Structure 1
Amino acid sequence: MDHLRVIKKAWKEYDASKTIYKIQDISAMVSTNHVFRITFDDEDIVIAKLSYFGKYEHFKEDHRIIHSLANNLLYPFENLLAKSLLKNNRVFTYRYKTASTDAWVVFYNPVRVQKRLPRRLSEAHIRKFGQQIGKFHKSCSRIRNVLPKSSKTLSTDISVLLRQLNSRKKSSFSDEQRDVLRHHCELFQKNRLLYKADKFETIPVFIDWNIGNFSVTSSLKLYSRWDYDWFRMSSRMMDFYFFARVVSDIGDRTVFSYLIGPMMEDRFVLFLEEYHKVNPLTANELRFLKEVYRFFILNYVIKDGNYFFSPQYATKLQSEAFDTYLPSIEKEFDSEKLISALKLK
């Protein structure tokens, strides 16, 4: 695909009167999504995101919800999110569809950035981060009823994966691997009901909270957040696996894996304690963290991995899913440690 051609066509449809001077690819090169900085003749700058991961309808729906969220969040988070460009009072999205290609584009105003958290957080960083996320989730909760509805749920995504596994179409997974995946899909659905996850409050969650996706002030308050690849409306617990990764002892790494271990570290318990003071958690929510992790591996690594991650990452992560990630769920995760630390029942 000629990415620049698609970006130019998208901008022409948005505002043909404004001439592009330069387009720079600023993508992280981890996923199949591409991000570009567009500079115009008059020196104005916008950011373009080009995606062909998932469905255009979901892409459009998500950005409509994010736009509403960005405009309805109150102080101190009123300027936290990158704003999409509008046309005729609607978020502008462009779809480029040919016989062999289906891609879509959205434009953003450049987001202001202050400080990044260090690769390995201190205890003071963890405490402040827990407090800030607790406040942010509370702010999202307060406006949940005025946001557009979402068609995606955890159950529908797992059902899609099950249909794919039961299909007679050629699969990259062996029969044995498909059996393993079916087993974990069924466990997820069973435990989702056991922990009454359907009763959990639904709020906007971004899931991918690695330290390259947000910035903080000098006093460690959340300042800006970008990168909405895994955005969805769901339980707040969907964010917590990545919070565990942010505060983990090993810290942020260039070569990454998705191990369950960070959710069992004392550093994550410290994060939970600070979050809990601001925005109380329940025992069933902490029990559901095991299923949050299972869902992440099944949905984002297995079901969508080949579409979202670049090929070398997709192959590596899917192999590790069978060898390490999925077998570790029952062996390594103990929700009672977290429940006991927060003195819950």
Structure 2
Amino acid sequence: MNQIDFIGIVREAVKSFDDSKRIVRIDDISAKVSTNHVYRIKFSDHNIIIAKLSYFGKFEHFVEDHSIINSLSNNLPAPFENVLARSLIKGNTLFVHRHTDSFIDAWIVFYRPMRVRKKLPKRLNEEQIKKLGRTFAQFHQACFSVKNTLPPSSKTMQIDIEHLQRILQTPLGQHDHRMHVDLIREQCNMFLENSAKLNAESFETIPVFVDWNIGNFSVTKQLTLHSRWDYDWFRVSSRMMDFYFFSRIVSDVGDQTTFSYDIDRFMEERFMIFLKAYHEEYPLTEAEIRFLPETYRFFLLNYVVKYGRYFFHEVFSNRLQQEAYNNHLPTIEEKFDAEPLLRTIFD
């Protein structure tokens, strides 16, 4: 999409929001591994706002997600009242600009800039893992406490998996996934069957952000959550959707430039330390622990297989998809064992 003038679309959105604003500078601050576009806009009055531009999925889902996030950012209690960015409002509604032409249907939402404190170290020690377990448990509790005040969410894990199944029935889906259609179908069926066995639809749901890599949030010196940005994978779902990336944060491997989405992080002793600290603050159930491999399976099917080419640049998406097909999806049952995790928190 090199021919598309994204900066021009941002300028158009600013004019639609407030045509009295005079732009001094627009900087592209997008993540280098992602296809999403994020811009910092500086105005002549020295004020700064952040613009997020997206062009895949459904416009209605984009508006729905950002409406929920904005309500959440305003309703979260202390000490999390400033963790999320607040979106800009025009009149009494969330401002979303939609640009449509012969090349693209793109949508923009504006945010106030976030205050960033400390980034986590690439590898945590045991005490840091425990503190992080407690702060994420407290954040989940805060999200649960305001869930009934938020706009409704139409997306569910089952709906997303059934959507992937329908894609596989189309000529485009058959072409895009070629040699792996049978594997994907099998994995979709396993997710739906195992979710039904665990009665996952009965789990409490909260706002979850899924992609908790250390480049997406900052903490205080005491390792309490201070700010969170990048809401691309936001959804209202089981809190267990966040735990795969929690396991990656505390992994012995640590944060790496070249990354892979293996399930092994769940079985590390360091994750069990995290899990125990979380459980002491916000107790987990046995069914939720047994649901962990299904959240991982869903993550691979939905965010890597179905949407990988939208979330990642091509050089990353091709590799991550091949790893999912050849290594990760076929070995979930072999590599994941819930028993050590259950003993850690219940014994």
TM-score tier after normalising by the smaller chain length: over 0.9
Equivalent of 2:224 in 181, 206, 221:
221
Letter in 2 for 1:110: P
Aligned CA-pair RMSD: 1.0
> Is the counterpart of residue 82 in structure 1 residue 89 in structure 2?
no
Equivalent of 2:301 in 293, 298, 302:
298
What residue is the counterpart of 1:99 in the other structure? 102
What residue is the counterpart of 2:17 in the other structure? 14
What residue is the counterpart of 2:266 in the other structure? 263
Unaligned runs of 5+ in 2: none
What residue is the counterpart of 1:131 in the other structure? 134
Shift of 1:323: 1.1
Letter in 2 for 1:171: H
What residue is the counterpart of 1:192 in the other structure? 195
After superposition, the C-alpha distances for 1:258-302 in whole angstroms (9 at most, x for unaligned) are 111111100000000000000000011000000000000000000
Letter in 1 for 2:224: K
3-state DSSP of counterpart to 1:120 = coil
Counterparts of 1:155 and 1:201, CA distance in 2: 15
Shift of 1:307: 1.8
Equivalent of 1:57 in 60, 64, 69:
60
Contact 1:72 1:143 in 2 (8 A): yes
TM-score under structure 2 length normalisation? 0.97
What residue is the counterpart of 1:45 in the other structure? 48
What residue is the counterpart of 2:283 in the other structure? 280
Count the aligned residue pairs.
343
> Is the counterpart of residue 172 in structure 1 residue 162 in structure 2?
no
Unaligned runs of 5+ in 1: none
3-state DSSP of counterpart to 2:106 = strand
3-state DSSP of counterpart to 1:22 = strand
Contact 1:33 1:53 in 2 (8 A): no
Equivalent of 1:308 in 311, 322, 332:
311
What residue is the counterpart of 1:239 in the other structure? 242
What residue is the counterpart of 2:215 in the other structure? 212
3-state DSSP of counterpart to 2:117 = coil
Counterparts of 2:331 and 2:107, CA distance in 1: 37
Shift of 1:251: 0.5
Equivalent of 1:24 in 24, 27, 31:
27
3-state DSSP of counterpart to 2:252 = coil
Counterparts of 2:223 and 2:113, CA distance in 1: 21
What residue is the counterpart of 2:160 in the other structure? 157
Letter in 2 for 1:238: M
Shift of 1:167: 2.0
TM-score under structure 1 length normalisation? 0.98
Shift of 1:327: 1.5
